[in-house]
Amino acid sequence: MLHELHGDGNDVFCLMFNYHQRHKQELLFAREHCSRLKVQSRVLDLPDLGGLNEQSWIVPNRNMVFLSIAANVAHDINADSILIGCNSDDAAMFPDCRGDFLNSIEQTINYAGYSVKVIAPFLKLTKREIAEKAKQFGINSNNIWTCYRGGSKQCGTCPACIKLKESNLCLGQ
pTM: 0.88
| Residue 170 CB coordination number (10 Å) | 11
- So where are the chain's domains? 2-139
Range 70-93 average pLDDT: 94
Q: Which residues contact 50 (CB under 8 A, 6 or more apart)?
A: 59, 60
**pLDDT score of 14:** 97
Average pLDDT over residues 103-126: 96
Predicted pLDDT at 81: 97
Query: Does residue 66 carry a pLDDT above 70?
Result: yes
pLDDT of residue 52: 66
Poorest-pLDDT segment among 41-50, 112-121, 159-168: 159-168
Name the β-bridge partners of 159. Answer: none
C-alpha pair distances (Å), 148 with each of 137, 142, 158, 159: 24, 16, 7, 8
Chain centre to alpha carbon of residue 141: 16
Alpha-carbon distance of 3 to 154, in angstroms, equals 23
**What pLDDT band is residue 23 in, cutting at 50, 70 and 90?**
confident
Which of 32-41, 60-69, 156-165 is predicted least confidently? 156-165
**CATH number of the 2-139 domain:** 3.40.50.620
